[in-house]
Structure formats: C-alpha cells, structure tokens
Structure 1
C-alpha cells in the first residue's frame, strides 16, 4: 500500500482538457520597462505565477468568464483588474510606483530575489493562514524541501524542532524583520516562546545552505527570514478560534486601524493556545501578544513592533525508552533494573513505566515538572529612500527573557549543592530529595543596518551589518528539600554570567550583463564571548573566547530564455561553538570553530502555470562539531571536531496549476551525509559498576546522525467552486540513524504521513469573510517517531545500548472558525 501511495507523489490524479489561455505583459508605467518577477494571481482561485524575462505571464486551461487578476511588485502600487476571457486573451498592464515605501524593503538586504544564485523558497500570507491551526512555525514549513519536523509532546504544540538537510535548529539562522532570533548561547530557536506568532507573519523565506549574508550566527544548514505584518489600507478586526484533539484550543483576536490620514497604522493581536499534548502530561499553556505602530511618509517608514510570548510546558523531553515503546516485557524489566535508582526511584515511577500506554509514556510524574519562560521582544524599524539610487534600512532591538524549569530530584548529595550533611538522632544523612529550579535571566539588544545603492539597472550594492550584545544570568535554586541542611527558601546553589558581543559587516554587489547576473557577498564577523561564576557542578567557568570570521560568497545566474535560468554559487561560512562546548571544557580541550564550504547548482523553470526548481548541493565541513561520547579533560561529554564530513544531494520542488481548480505541488530530496572518519567512545565498567576507562571504535565513511537519504512532500489541492478547497498532503522521510555509527540497532524507522485539509470561505451577515477549516492529521494512523537519542556503555564486558524515541500523534484533527469584520 505504501508503494502505491509513494507512486502518487509523481502521478497526477486528474486530466484536464485544454481550454482558453490568458497571456499578458507587465511594464513600469513611468519608464515602460518590462517588469521581471512581478507576482500575478487569479484572485478567486489562488493560482499565482511570476512574469518572465520579457515581463510576460501565462495562465492556461481557463474556462471562459470573468477573472479578478492581481499584480504586485515591491515598491509599486498593487493592481487589481477584472479580465474577461473569451478564447485566447492577451492584456497589457502597467504598474505605478507606490506613493508610500513598501514594508518589504525592511528585509530586502538579507533576502534572496527571483534571480539570486541562492536556493530558497517563499511562503506567503495566504499559505500561512490556511495552514495555521496553532502548531508551531516549524510545522508550517513541513512541506519545504529537505525539511523534517518533530514535537516533544507529539502534536506540534509546545516544544518543536526542525532539521533542514539534516542540520538541526542550532544551524538554521532565524531572523524576524532582519533581527536575529536564535538564542545567542545555545544557538537554537525556541518557537515555543512565540506561540501563534504565525498569525502576525506576512511571509517567510527559507534559504537552504549558507544563503546570503544575514545577521546572527552562521547558517550551517539554512536561513529562515520572517517578516511580520505589513501595511493594511483598511481597518479590520478578526476572531479566530480553533479546537481539536488532545484538548487543544486556540483563540486569537486581531485588530488594525488601516491607514489613518494616509500616514499612520496600528495593529494588534492577542492569542492563547492550550493543549494536553499527545504524550502523557505533555501539556502546554501558551499566551502571546503582538503590537505594531507605523508612520508612513512618502519616502520613509518608521515602525515600532513589540511582541511577547509566555509559556508553561510540562516536560516531555526525555522521550520513551525503546524497551517500553517496542520491546517485550522481559526487555522492559531489563531496562528497569538497569536504571533503577537513576530514572526510576519510587513505586509511582515503576507503576508509571509498566502500566502506561507504550506510545504515550512520560517518565516525569511530579506535578510541576514544567518549563516556564517569558520573552518580550521590542523592535524599532526605519527605512528611508534617500533618492532614486540610495536607500537605508536600520533597526534597534531589545529582547528580555526570563524563566526556569522546575524538577524533582531524588537522592541528591548535599555536597553537589554546596551543602553539608546533617545528623539526625546520631545518623548522618548525606542525601536528600529536593525540588530545584534552573533559571535563565537574559537581555539581548543591538542594532542592524543596510545601505543600498543602485546607480542603474545593471549594478546594485548593499553595505550592511549589525552589532548585538547578549547578557545572560544562569542560576539554580533549591526551593524545597526533604532534609534542608543549612538552606533557606530559594537557596541559590550556583550562579554564573555570560556576555556575548557579536559584530558583523557585509558588502554585496550585483551586476547584470544581458542574460548574466553576477554577485559577490563578503562578510566579516567577530564574536567575543565571556563567562564568569560557577556552573551547577561548582566548576569555575571563567573564560573568554574571541573568534574572527571571514565569510565570502560568489555566484552567477544565467537567463536561458524568458522562462528559465540556471545558477551556481560558492560560499564559505564559519560558526563558533555553543555555550556548552565552552562551559564544559577547558582552554586546552575547547573545540575549534566549524567551517562550511557550500556549493549550490540550480535550475529554475517558470512556464504555463508551472514553477519548478532542481538543484544540486555539496556542503563540505571542516571541524564539524559532533557528539562522540569522549570525555574531555574536565570530565564532560561534549562535542568534538570531526576533521572531514559532508552533505551532498539533489532537491526538486515544483508546483503545477493544472487548471484554476486543481494544483499539484511536489518536492523531493535525495542526499548522502558522511563523516570520513568517526571515533566513537564508550564508558566501560566492571561487574561492580566501577569505572575502567573508555573504549574506542573507529568508523570509516559513516552516516551523519539524523540525516535521511530521501525526503518527499506532496500536496494535491482541489477547488470545486469559489471559496472551497480540499487538499491531500503527504510527507515521506526515510530512516535516520540516532548516532554517527550507521548502526541499524540505533535508528528511526522511515515514516509516511498523510493529512487532509478542508476549507470554506464565504461572506454572510454583512461580515467581510467567514472561514471554516478542518485539518485531519495522520489520517492512516501511522505509528512513527521523528526524533530520538541514544547512549551506550560497556558493563562487565557487554555493550548496553539505551535508545529513546519521541512518538508523534496518530490520527487527530483541528477545526477552526475565522471571522473577519
């Protein structure tokens, strides 16, 4: 059955007869120049194409009748025109320059354009809206090429993650309005701190590979550029409610003033998402708001944006042991006895392990085993068109984050917390059960800028950069202990501070010679990272690390004809280690920065309502940081530099508007991810569990963990009449290894998941729009795991392996009602 379903990825299910053809040409009203890359949409049917190298566009297979055509291009007034199609029809349209500067110029400096020698894909507001049922942003990107997403709680709400070309979120550079979002220390992006942020997003661009120069840490897998809501001319109000499986409920209210006196706009959103989660006790309670106020001059924009997210999420980040998920009763008993006194300490723990649902087991049972965090983001964005050739974008930003995760710990040694043993009735007590909170209180602030100079249609220059500073306080508190020793309430047992200064400057130049576009992109980045204080093990952290990076990029695009082009690029990116790599090492064992050489070769095709892209990539790493199991000179398991590793592959992405009623989108990637020589280390213990040392194994040309060879996505969308759409969405991911040894006993099995989305948009009761939508996820109830981890050790001469998995939800649904006033 799965084979037949896979074949469906590449086999159209409907045939349509040839009907009328609508062609057209778009020009600049002031200069009569043709406009290449303008977006042209059949509004009622959501079929979109772009103008080719001659400013032309084509829609095929149209029935005779009236169509609302919408044309848009950055810096020009959008145009809507009703077109009467009677047989083959040709029209010519001209766009006028906008009286107000377009919001899109804010992110232009870090965006790839239609002719860029960069591998990228855009997702617009309409696509975001119809897929936004309250899941995190990674789930809205699930149909991007080479994308794999996962959820700790199993249903896409709470802690979620994504991998692009096998690279995790610490290697995906995320910016919001050009401002870095990745955590400065761990380098990951925690979208749980942005609940329902998609409701305030206008568009997103995902660049795969190194991409263009951007702000923040180096992109080692991809860059995600998010732009928030832009100018809306008319006042509006919107209420969106969604409800579904696992007690999931989403409530959103949005309001906006539209353009006041031709100059001012104000927008706001308030959201709440709650969910019990698919995993036992995997609950989420998320709240957020978004506020924006903007001033639009004829040649300038000043926009103030503030958004906040508050999350309380029950911990589900330990996963499910393989013995519980897939093993026999004997396997589960063996696992229990191996981990008794470590993972399982009480009768309640034992009952939970043996009696819970194997796919929903959560080893945490303490009622407040939660993660709690609030993040407030503030941005001041300014854009100025100085003259016809010169423009400037700048931004100031400040983010305040504070929160903790709370956990119950059994049998903790007093000296681990800087406490002294106590004596009760002549008995010395060295351990206690306790509840602790580990806190992070941080500030992130800085500025970004870009100066764009375009002396002619041939040359384009950008000078940009940023300075950002992070200050983070890390501390832990014991808020309760069975035996209190000398502690008081909220006793602080460790405290350390970190400061990270990140400066970058980049210059980009683009030149066009007939059909050939050339670009060069040079970036210098300096990182200064300092630690003071002691960590949770009482180890002095005082260190300072300074890194200087040069990141050059060059590329070319050649326009083969009006409908297709080819491109090639070569880029070098450098990236500093993350916090843990520094804090759990000494200056002698500190890992080196990583370096990536990225080669992209691609072909883009746009013709007759078909957009398609085929690209080859080669990502070659020097000193990539990978977990090996080796203990360093301070007794920690941290990542080690691997001398040579690579990712090579081919990606395909296409969308075909077969007719105004039916469209077919498909993407696929076939890739290979290798480490030329990998050294694995296992701890070794004798029969009494006394440590002996470490055993080393060496592997040649082994697979990189979490890097599936084949990923494919598919979407059939059918619109039988105006306002109605049905979509069948599929995702296939081949097997992935949990570590870098290519061991079949440590892997995630391949999975194939299918969803259905139904939508109905209509007008009634004097309302601007009413939208009903239903999404049924995993309709065939595929039992699969999309993430996991593994560790092992040698006990009494035998290798013991512990695998843990994160099962994803079975068949589930979300229903939404959206009302626009």
Structure 2
C-alpha cells in the first residue's frame, strides 16, 4: 500500500509544480442580462469549474474573472429564477463574454422536493449532499448507496454482490430505519420498510442531487426514521438548457451499458427531459448476471399561475443472487472453493443455472401541480402511483445435493441437479397418479410480490411576515400487496404435493400453481404536518409537528377456509407523531453553530403487527419511540469548509423477531414458531466530521469521518402465547444488555484528493484517489440467539479494512462544432486488491466461540475497472 500511495503523491507533486508554472493574468469580463427584457442581473454567478474560479456581477450586471489561463473551457452563468447557461470559450487573451439568461418559472422548481432540502448556515441539521455530476462521474454502475458511503456515518455493503443487492446504514441504523425518498416521495416498502436498490438501478443516471440528512432532518412531512432521511432529486424540466447526451460504459466481468439522454424545449413554456439505457453484466460471482433496461421521462410547463409536470422512471431488471440466508460461507470454505463461488448455482444436463434469481419491475409515476396563490403563497401537490411486478426465486423441498469431489473436483459443492432430476423423474406415487411423476426432491419456486401503491403529498407554503414562514400540508398513501409462491420448475417431475392450502390440502401442484402461502396485505396511512421557520438577524429556527395514522389489514387464502370470517382481519391502526425543533446561529460570515432535538413515536412495521405470518394480531405490537439530539459547528471560508457535529439517539420499544420451539397440541410434534416482541432499547452516540481544504487552484483535500457507538441498553423478557394453544404461555429471555449493535463499522474515515488540470487545446483532466478505512465492525447476530445468561460476549469483530479507489476523468471542450463536450472517465476500484470482508454473520453459541472460525462471511470484489465515454451535443 505504501508504494502505491507514494506513486500517487509523486504524481500530484509533479502536477502541482506544473500548475504553478503556467502563466496567469488573462481576464474574462462581460455582462449577465435578462434575455427577454435586457435588464442587468445583479449578483449573478459566472464560473469556470475546471479552474475553480468565478465572479459575481455588480450593480451594473458586470462581472470580471481575473487570472484565467489559456485554453478552452466551459463558462457557466447562473442566477436564481433563471436557466443556467453554458458557453465553451477558447481563451488566448483577454475575453469579453456576455450572457443573456432566460427566466425559469419559480413554479417548476417550487415542488415539495424543496421542502425536504437542508441549507448550510440556515437549517439546523447534520447533512451531506452529492451533486448529480459527481454521482454520474463516480458511480460507475454501482448501487447508489456505494457512492454515498464517502459521507459521514453512511455505510453500504455489496453483500452477496448481486446488482442492486447493496445495503444502506446511517448512524448504525439499517435502511428500514432511513426514510428514503425520490423527489420527496417515500419509497421504503410499505410492509417491511426495506429499500430494494435493484428497483432503482438506473436512477443514478438521472439524479440532479442527493441529500442525506442524519438524525431529525429538515423534512416537515409525517415521514420519520431513527437513522435519518435521504432524498434523491431527479432532473426536471424547469432548470436545464437543451442538450443531447450519448454515453457508453464498459467494465470488468463484461459490463456493457449504453444510454441516450436529452432535454428540449417544446415551446416557450413547455419542455421535456428523457433517458433510456440498457445494461448487461456477467457479475463477479458465479451466476450473478444482470440484465436491465431503464427509462425516464419528464414533461411539463407553466400555464399562468400554475405548472404541471408529469414524470416517470422504471428499471425492469433480472439478476442472479448469492442469497444472504445460505450463500455465506466460513472463511475456510471460501479459501477452499474460491471467492467467486456461489452456493446457489446448479448443474443440470451440462447447463448451469442460478436457483436465486430476482426479476422485478417497479416504475413510479408522479404528477406535480404547483399553484402560485399569490406573491407570498404557493400550493405544491404530488400525486403518485407505483406498481411492483415480479419475484425472487429459490427452492422447495430438501436442498439439492452437492457435487462431490470424486464426481468433479473442479465444480465440487455446486448443486447436483442431475441427481435431483433422476429422483423426481422416476418417482410414481399411486396415491395421486399411476402415470405422472411426483417431484419428491428439490423443485424451484418463485416468491411473487405484486403490489400497487397510490399516494398524495400536498404542501402549502406562505410568508406570514418577511421573517416568518409557514409550511403545512397532508400526506396520504394506500397500498395493496399480493404475495404467494408458485411452482417454477419441477426438475424432472410432473407435479408437486403442497399441503399448505386448507381449502385444497395435498393438491397436485404443477408449474404456475400457487403453493406454500397466498395472502394479501393492505396498508393505509394518512398524516398532516405543520412547520414554522423564523429568521431574525443571525438566527434561524424552526418548530415542526406532524401526526399520522397507519393501518394494516391482512387476508389469507391458504391458512383459512374460504368461508371462514377470520380469513380477513380488521384494520389494525396505530397513531404516530413527531415533534422537533432546532436553531442555527451564524457567529460571523464564516462560523455557525446549531442545535436540534426531536422525539417521535412511530407505528410498527406492518409485518410486525401479525404474529407468525398469520391473521392473529401480535399482542406486543407497539409504537417505537425515538429521541434524538444534535449539536453542530460549521465553518466556511475561501480555503476551508468544515462541518462537525455530535449526536445522541435513544430508540425504545424496538421490535425483535424471535424464533422459538413449541409443541403442536394436536399432533404432539415439535414445531418452530415466530413472534414479535417489543421492549428492547438501543442507544447510539457519535461524532461526525466532513471537510474540504483548497490547497491551491484546482487542488483540494476532502475528508469525512465518523465514530458511531451503538449498544443494546437492556435485557428483554417477554411472555409469548402460541396462537394454536392460547392457554399455554412461554417465557422468553434475551440477554442483550451491553452488546454492540452489529452490521456496521463504528469507525469510518475517508480521504480524497481532487485535482483539476488544464492540459491545453480544450482538454482538462480530473484526478481523484479515494481512501476508505472501516474499523470496529461487529458481525451481525439475531438477538433471539442470546438466550444464555452466561453468554455476554460481543459478536465476532470483522477485521479492519483499507480500500483505495482511483478516478480519472478527461473533459474536452469544443467550440463552433455540433459536439460541445466529450468526456472520458476511467475508474479502478479496490486498487490494492485487498480481499476484505464486507459482511459477516456471527456463529457463536456461547461466551467462548464468537470467533472467526464460526462466522459466515461475504468477501469483497477483487480489483475491477470501469471506463465510460460521453458525447454532449
């Protein structure tokens, strides 16, 4: 590692010296005016991003950029309420360059998206943001959370390595406990609050910016989460100049991707934006292939005091997986079979296939309506619809046997489906048929999830006084989800006997028939919110109150007879609320401090309301209570910017799913049961830092770091009543007090060097090495395994990891040509080729065996590459 780091530092030193020797002294001057009226625009910004220089127009609308350098650059003029304008200019001496900007309707930008955005030195919350340009440059076909992991307290694991299977953690809380939004619209699953990033595979291509707010957050809506919130703002029709962009991407393991994007004006007040892309990938693990098509569109315009914008995005995809539940292996097994091994891969008649495939399409469509009620008031409304259609596949019956070393030493331990075929194709069960073959060994199934989601989010903003602003509104959602398993492949047989449908027990199930379970979930949520923001002098403060009612309902087609009134439950309603406030004080032009506190009571996940996947309502279902407090300091000068904060979070009545043994009163056989119990408490405390230092023109150092300590605060005792034997009680004890919360690294540090250099003839280069350190990372464990009072040992600690990525970009600006800009980007990830552990599951069962040998893990991807070309017209 030291040799590579020295080479990088030598490169930067040489480039820095060359930068210093380039002649300076060229001046760019001009005016910025309103394109319609010719009025001078005061305070407009004119920037040359590649030189990191710029100026602001004076009272006469005149700007002057000093000490520019010879070359061809893109010069950008922008002003609030106007569409920014880019101009490619060849500079060989003093240049006069005037800009005439076209007004951008405030209405097209005044959507509910703005209500979720935090502003430095105004909004008293901890936040980080990634601009769309950076996301497009660095993402390199990874999942979006992977790029966000360079910000404080944000962690993402690639898990088994399937496309879209990444995880997201903020302050040690999983994405179930992070409010994820797209254009202000929540996208967490309505049943289990998970975020399936494979459904948003192409979103990174159309993002304008992404903001992560840690803790209480700035959103006024009735959306709350213990970890924080994340809002991804897509490109719209209100703020971009016309363009066409063609992009191609190539990478390791046969990654191929192509896209076409555009923005065009259809009339003086109507515009359209769109993108289509196609991506294929073999995957770095065996069988983790990926096929995806993405589409995005946005059309809209201004009509008097109203604006309308219709947008839609979808990414129908199919990808192979390494299932979390059984594809993790011990370190010894990975060393034996290789780190690209996939336990879900099987061989049948010489052909290979993956048992675990995810195929899904979840488009989202938004209709945004904005009404400028008067000069001080705006009503912004989003009506949205999202549907999901698809499945994740797996097996039923016994696991397929493994290929033995004697059969095939090269492919040993992959699944032997030839043996499964021989069993299923030769079994005749006269009880059901004398001619058809019964599959008694492994079969393949699809777990289907088809859902429809409708929602509305309406916000009214008004200035009560020049200092006092009121935001109020409503939030409503309704969701229907249909869940069942279906036979996918009988592997040599003609039918499979399923015993789980009481309406048709022991039915002969064929391909496409429903098996195992079949149920519907209904979720409805209605909320209201109000927020006051007050600015007085150097102080900015807010107070927010919101409340919501969430209800869940379940219908089961298999566990209950068709005429049984218990096959459908009543609505189970829970009331939640949020109260939060904060204040920001600007000490001077550079320094500011803030403090905030928040408390919310959140309805339980719908999955936790019903016990053991039945229609029986869990007696322990209760609201989870959260208190959050933050204290922060920000400094911003011309050469340094630092954001630092400390936080405290207490999470009470956290729901825990437990697995316990019981005796079936009818048969006397042992059975496994599941229950959800509450009463667990966690405390997360931490320090976060984010900063940038401008060393010289075009050369800056960036860092982000966090120390987050999460602990279980108590042991839990619960009384469980089995639903099939209501008179019996079972006492459950979980000894979790003092255990560290797992699944995320408590220590995270990122260092980056950003260097921009002009090479001549319109060619610019951008160099960006990124170093990441992850430490004090405890492997995951289920609290219900801690039933031994003598087992107080921490889960196995995953070894620290050091990762170096490298990004290199070239931009070529052209003048007087139909191609305006050409980009070439090159990326190397895991440059040092460290084989570090990205995910671990503790295998200990007592106080002495929480050790590496018993853990099951996933390893990182080996060093890999990505190259992208883009042409802007």
| TM-score interval (norm. to shorter) | 0.7 to 0.9
Note if 1:565 corresponds to 2:574.
no
| Aligned partners of 1:128 and 1:140 also within 8 Å | yes
| 1:383 equivalent in structure 2 | 370
| Aligned partners of 2:255 and 2:282 also within 8 Å | yes
Correspondence list, 1:728-767, <5 A: 728-739=769-780, 743=793, 746-763=796-813, 766-767=818-819
Note if 1:788 corresponds to 2:840.
yes
CA deviations 1:359-397 (Å, max 9, x no partner) are 534344372521111112111011222222101110111
Q: Secondary structure at the match of 2:136?
A: helix
| 1:340 equivalent in structure 2 | none
| Aligned partners of 1:101 and 1:298 also within 8 Å | no
Correspondence list, 1:603-618, <5 A: 603-618=633-648
- For 1:3 and 1:536, the matched residues in 2 are separated by 64
Note if 1:549 corresponds to 2:576.
yes
Of 375-384 and 216-225, deviating more is 216-225
Note if 1:648 corresponds to 2:685.
yes
**Structure 1 or 2: more strand by fraction:** 1
- For 2:70 and 2:397, the matched residues in 1 are separated by 74
- For 1:704 and 1:50, the matched residues in 2 are separated by 49
Alignment CA distance shift 1:310-1:429 (3 Å): closer
Note if 1:717 corresponds to 2:754.
yes
Q: Secondary structure at the match of 1:709?
A: strand
Note if 1:468 corresponds to 2:474.
no
| 1:776 equivalent in structure 2 | 828
Alignment CA distance shift 1:354-1:612 (3 Å): closer
Alignment CA distance shift 1:45-1:453 (3 Å): same
- For 2:683 and 2:42, the matched residues in 1 are separated by 42
Note if 1:597 corresponds to 2:624.
no
| Aligned partners of 2:780 and 2:840 also within 8 Å | no
- For 2:549 and 2:56, the matched residues in 1 are separated by 39
| 1:342 equivalent in structure 2 | none
Correspondence list, 1:285-434, <5 A: 285-297=291-303, 299-318=305-324, 324=330, 326-327=331-332, 356-365=337-346, 367-369=353-355, 370-411=357-398, 423=431, 431-434=440-443
| Aligned partners of 1:620 and 1:644 also within 8 Å | yes
| 1:136 equivalent in structure 2 | 143
The Cα of 1:620 is off from its aligned counterpart by 1.1
CA deviations 1:20-67 (Å, max 9, x no partner) are 99999x9999999998xx97743333579999xxxxx99999879999
| Aligned partners of 1:445 and 1:468 also within 8 Å | yes
Alignment CA distance shift 1:598-1:718 (3 Å): same
| Aligned partners of 1:118 and 1:207 also within 8 Å | yes
The Cα of 1:624 is off from its aligned counterpart by 2.2
Alignment CA distance shift 1:130-1:669 (3 Å): same
Correspondence list, 1:254-269, <5 A: 254-256=261-263, 258-269=264-275
Of 629-638 and 566-575, deviating more is 629-638
CA deviations 1:416-452 (Å, max 9, x no partner) are xxxx9864899x9995432222111110002111110
- For 1:165 and 1:39, the matched residues in 2 are separated by 36
| 2:244 equivalent in structure 1 | 237
CA deviations 1:187-217 (Å, max 9, x no partner) are 1111211222111111111111121235575
| 2:217 equivalent in structure 1 | 211
Q: Secondary structure at the match of 2:115?
A: helix
CA deviations 1:723-781 (Å, max 9, x no partner) are 21111011111132124688566333221111111111114564121111101000000
| Aligned partners of 2:694 and 2:701 also within 8 Å | yes
Of 477-486 and 491-500, deviating more is 477-486
Of 512-521 and 527-536, deviating more is 527-536
- For 1:314 and 1:611, the matched residues in 2 are separated by 43
| Aligned partners of 1:728 and 1:755 also within 8 Å | yes
1:492 to 499, 514, 521: 514
| Aligned partners of 2:157 and 2:839 also within 8 Å | yes
1:705 to 742, 767, 781: 742
- For 1:783 and 1:49, the matched residues in 2 are separated by 47
| 2:204 equivalent in structure 1 | 198
Structure 1: gaps (5+ residues): 52-56, 86-92, 333-352, 414-419, 682-692
- For 1:422 and 1:216, the matched residues in 2 are separated by 59
- For 1:263 and 1:515, the matched residues in 2 are separated by 38
- For 2:186 and 2:451, the matched residues in 1 are separated by 15
The Cα of 1:537 is off from its aligned counterpart by 11
Q: Secondary structure at the match of 1:703?
A: coil
Structure 2: gaps (5+ residues): 58-62, 92-98, 348-352, 401-427, 498-506, 664-670, 719-729, 782-790
Alignment CA distance shift 1:459-1:780 (3 Å): same
- Rg comparison, structure with higher value: 2
Alignment CA distance shift 1:307-1:94 (3 Å): closer
Alignment CA distance shift 1:807-1:579 (3 Å): farther
The Cα of 1:503 is off from its aligned counterpart by 1.1
Correspondence list, 1:215-226, <5 A: 217-226=223-232
- For 1:698 and 1:50, the matched residues in 2 are separated by 62
| Aligned partners of 2:179 and 2:228 also within 8 Å | yes
The Cα of 1:275 is off from its aligned counterpart by 1.5
Equivalences, count:
763
| 2:94 equivalent in structure 1 | none
CA RMSD of aligned residues (A): 4.5
